[in-house]
Structure 1
Amino acid sequence: MLRQCFLRCLLDSHAPIKLPHNVEIFIGRSKDTKIKDQSCSRQQITLRADCEECEVEIKPIGINPSGLDGFALQRNGVYKVKHGSRIEILLNNYIHVIDFDPPPDTEVSNNNKRKLEDEKHEISPRKKSKTQSELEQSSNIKEAMEDIWEEVDRGEVYVFTTKGVKSSQKIAAFDMDGTLIKTKSGKVHPVDTNDWQIAFPQASKKLTEKLNEDYKIVILSNQSPIGSGRVKVDDFKKKIEGIVAKLNVPIQVYLATGKGFYRKPAPGMWKVLAEQKNDNLTINMDISFFCGDAAGRAVNWAPRKKKDHSMADILLAENLGLKFYTPEQFFLGHSIANVPMIRPDFNPKELKPEAFNDSLISKEKELLVLVGFPGSGKSFLAKEIVERSGNKYAIVCRDVMGTWQKCASEATKLLQQGKSVIVDSTNPDIESRARWTTLAKNMKIQCRCARMMTTKAHALHNNKFREIMKIKHVPVNDIVFHTYKNKFVEPTLNEGFLQVIEVKFNPCFDNKRAENMYRYYLLEK
């Protein structure tokens, strides 16, 4: 019987794609793959199957990198892969498997079939434990024979695997600064890469105990100074190597150098661990854990103790569904039952869809002035009004035009043409809004206000979500949010508005991946 080849989605989100013998097939963003991510090109990779030799030639041609078994592929490079190889259409995302039918041999077929069944739901926050037989197989995983540094996603993450590291279903994960080490100088931040010492005398002993219980020891650390260039990566690598040597246990270290998907509390580093750096062993989330000092403990949680600098560690654990320990709990056996803990001001898991308010669309020509934080949903609302009104409204946006004067000039032209106009800018105070009520009065049309009820914490979350998902938008720093909050005055009818409408944020997502990301805690504080 003639052998066939298929490209199968690991999550079964679409039907297998047949790869005919010796025919070049283009794979990317399409209806066939169900990929809608704009980062993925329509022609992201090409595949040419050789059904006689049971191998597939892959050539990445998209702008953004693709991956093979966890490693980035060079654009326009040519690679040959075998039955069971895992291809990431977009690096770290949209994982597919090469599947020959019948397979090259029965043994490989059975192994890969079991592997596919085990991994189909690998993105789920909790996974089933393996059988005793599978655990015995796991004990035969080869340990790392040498120390090795690797880059992931063009240096967004650095991974250091030390000699002796073995993959495991059980992960003991730790933050680094303030958890495993502290500064020698006594300062909050190290003065240089030599300013460190082990934080707890019991650290090496406790890690060794977990290693003897077949845990894989992992460090997950945010290190943005590397990404910003304030610290040289080679100097920091020496620091990490020194810390691991002092702890004297095999450790796999993950360093997030940017501010996006890989930075805690976002789950990027853990995803690299689970999907690329654990020899395809499914992590048991019920017995794995994370330990870190960024737990959101309030001031004086212990005598003369400052509040924790952030909540990044405990929120990462909550995002992943992991048991969490503070360093004092894990290394010293302290209880946190009576420790005052600060919680985030915004919980993305609790956000619910809101129905569109039809009163936002007026039968009369008008100026509709939007008021709200950056990231509060103004632009989305404006576009929705234009669409629902049948294009009776037009938008003037300060982010696009640059100044309010240019916006006012364009608004005047549009109003003269018979259009209603939506003013898409923050408009926090009476002065900024008076420009529009005055224009409406001069044009002898009504002026209403749509006040976005999105809180500062919620707007900051939205801004971080845009950054992580690489949504094209004008970058906004924290200073802009603080400035808006300080200048904000509640809009009233006394300013000249016919009506002030309160608008709740309505979440809307292009795909399930985006929604899942949005529901994570993304802010560190």
Structure 2
Amino acid sequence: MKRSAPPPRGSISPPAVKRKIDSTTTNKAVASFFKPASQKEPEKLTWRIVANSLIVGRYDAPNVPPQSRTLPVKIAAFDLDDTIIMPNIGRKWARSATSWRWFDTSVPGRLKQLYDEGYIVVVLSNQGNISLKDNAKSLQKDTASLGNLKSQIAAVFKQLDFPISFYAATAQDRYRKPRTGMWEEMLEDYDLHVGGAVDLANSFYIGDAAGREKTDKRKKDHATSDRDLAANIGINFRTPEEFFRNEITEPYDHVFEPRRYLEIASAKSASKDGDVTAPFKKNSPQELVIFCGSPGAGKSTFFWDVLQPLGYERVNQDILKTIIRMRTLKLENTGLILPVNTMCLSDAYALRHLRALPSTTMRSEL
């Protein structure tokens, strides 16, 4: 019987090599982890959410000397996208700490100069694509979109490194530009909500949504919300090209500017002696006055203050409870039983029949 060959003394395969894995955790991070909370440096950038809608970030730089401000203070407010920063070349907007570049190389120095001159510097931005809903499948409190936005703002503010605040409206509510909710929240945060605390004449807002037409260098502006925000607040407005690059101001005329309309109307209504004529007169014994305006526009107030003292009666959907009853009253009773009526028309069908009513003068108040 043959003996089996003895096993080889050495392994055929080369011996396993012990590989050293480099740790990404630094000694500083380990020391910070075990350091008591009372000994840790406070975070420079703190966040909070207002009314589950508005994102507020406030950056404090302890090493920067505090401003010596006296009332009234000047405020320099800016939009974020395509105003302070813009996407990296060849990329669309993607929120991260590295997916951006300055709109112009002068941006950091110009913003720091404003702070040194005593301005409060803030960023007011619409961010409708940011979700504030908690993800039930994840232990993280922030959604991915919110986390990416925070990372980007942290990177931007770290390079600026002076006290500055960020406000982002995520819903279609009072905070969204051109509404003034973000501005009002900022005034509360800086204790500037009392009258006369802000130097409106020397404050300004810079943004790219200015209603400009397309040029060889730029696409047509997507909106006028930045320009309208400045008008609603009562401060000056400039585009980022005008402010950072000293480009010539492009001509622009609002399609409808309430302040200008009121000034013109006031000038027309004033007589030579300086007396103001009545805002509304009763021109005929039987009239139909149509109010058309969004909720809260002042339709009811105008009726109680102006029309009721003149003998007008009021009809609206709130009183009639249903649209069907309101249409019936429009077609059958308007101008026949009630001496004078005020109502909101809901469709063109009813309007055609109202025009056919005899001896009824129609007037509209927009």
Q: Aligning the two structures, in what range does the TM-score lie when normalised by the shorter sequence?
A: 0.5 to 0.7
8 Å Cα contact 1:399-1:425 kept in structure 2: no
Tell me the alpha carbon deviations over residues 278-336 of structure 1, each in whole angstroms, 9 at most, x when there is no partner: 58994444444322212232332xx2423322233233334444343321122222221
1:190 to 63, 79, 93: 93
**What percentage of residue pairs aligned between the two structures are identical?**
25
Q: Secondary structure at the match of 2:228?
A: helix
Q: Secondary structure at the match of 2:121?
A: strand
Which residue is equivalent to 2:18?
none
1:309 to 205, 222, 234: 222
Tell me the alpha carbon deviations over residues 481-506 of structure 1, each in whole angstroms, 9 at most, x when there is no partner: xxxxxxxxxxxxxx45434433445x
Mapped partners of 1:346, 1:280: distance in 2 = 25
8 Å Cα contact 1:369-1:422 kept in structure 2: yes
Q: Secondary structure at the match of 1:225?
A: coil
Name the Cα RMSD after superposition.
Answer: 4.3
Mapped partners of 1:409, 1:428: distance in 2 = 13
Mapped partners of 1:287, 1:217: distance in 2 = 13
- The change in CA–CA distance for 1:418 and 1:286 in structure 2 (over 3 A counts) is closer
Mapped partners of 1:279, 1:369: distance in 2 = 42
Which residue is equivalent to 1:356?
280
**AA in 2 matched with 1:161:** R
Q: Secondary structure at the match of 1:252?
A: strand
Higher strand share: 1
2:55 to 142, 152, 158: 158
Shift in Å, 1:219: 1.0
- 1:397 matches 2:317: yes
Moved more, 273-282 or 291-300: 273-282
8 Å Cα contact 2:95-2:145 kept in structure 1: no
- 1:203 matches 2:107: yes
**Gapped regions of structure 1 (runs ≥ 5):** 1-143, 438-448, 450-494, 506-525
1:148 to 22, 46, 54: 46
Mapped partners of 1:179, 1:373: distance in 2 = 34
Q: Which has the higher contact order (CA 8 A, sep 6+)?
A: 2
Mapped partners of 1:422, 1:373: distance in 2 = 17
8 Å Cα contact 2:290-2:364 kept in structure 1: no
Mapped partners of 1:235, 1:218: distance in 2 = 20
Which residue is equivalent to 2:343?
424
Shift in Å, 1:341: 1.5
- The change in CA–CA distance for 1:231 and 1:225 in structure 2 (over 3 A counts) is farther
Mapped partners of 1:414, 1:432: distance in 2 = 12
- The change in CA–CA distance for 1:271 and 1:420 in structure 2 (over 3 A counts) is same
- 1:341 matches 2:242: no
Tell me the alpha carbon deviations over residues 402-448 of structure 1, each in whole angstroms, 9 at most, x when there is no partner: 44x43345668978x9555847343553x3334x45xxxxxxxxxxx
Which of 1 and 2 has greater Rg?
A: 2
**AA in 2 matched with 1:292:** G
- 1:326 matches 2:239: yes
Mapped partners of 1:394, 1:318: distance in 2 = 34
Shift in Å, 1:369: 7.7
Mapped partners of 1:357, 1:227: distance in 2 = 51
Q: Secondary structure at the match of 2:244?
A: helix
Mapped partners of 1:396, 1:217: distance in 2 = 47
**AA in 1 matched with 2:213:** A
Mapped partners of 1:360, 1:335: distance in 2 = 53
Tell me the alpha carbon deviations over residues 114-140 of structure 1, each in whole angstroms, 9 at most, x when there is no partner: xxxxxxxxxxxxxxxxxxxxxxxxxxx
8 Å Cα contact 2:289-2:364 kept in structure 1: no
**AA in 2 matched with 1:147:** L
TM-score (norm 2): 0.61
Mapped partners of 2:75, 2:342: distance in 1 = 51
Mapped partners of 1:231, 1:347: distance in 2 = 40
**Gapped regions of structure 2 (runs ≥ 5):** 1-41, 134-142, 267-277
- 1:223 matches 2:127: yes
Mapped partners of 2:229, 2:104: distance in 1 = 23
- 1:498 matches 2:359: yes
8 Å Cα contact 1:328-1:334 kept in structure 2: yes
Mapped partners of 1:264, 1:146: distance in 2 = 27
Mapped partners of 1:271, 1:324: distance in 2 = 18
**AA in 2 matched with 1:157:** L
- The change in CA–CA distance for 1:271 and 1:381 in structure 2 (over 3 A counts) is closer
Mapped partners of 2:330, 2:60: distance in 1 = 66
Counterparts of residues 258-297 of structure 1 (less than 5 Å): 258-277=171-190, 282-297=197-212
8 Å Cα contact 1:396-1:410 kept in structure 2: no
Size of the aligned set, in residue pairs, is 292
Which residue is equivalent to 1:179?
83
Counterparts of residues 78-157 of structure 1 (less than 5 Å): 146-152=44-50, 154-157=51-54
Mapped partners of 2:364, 2:331: distance in 1 = 26
Which residue is equivalent to 1:237?
150
- The change in CA–CA distance for 1:326 and 1:414 in structure 2 (over 3 A counts) is closer
**AA in 2 matched with 1:397:** Q
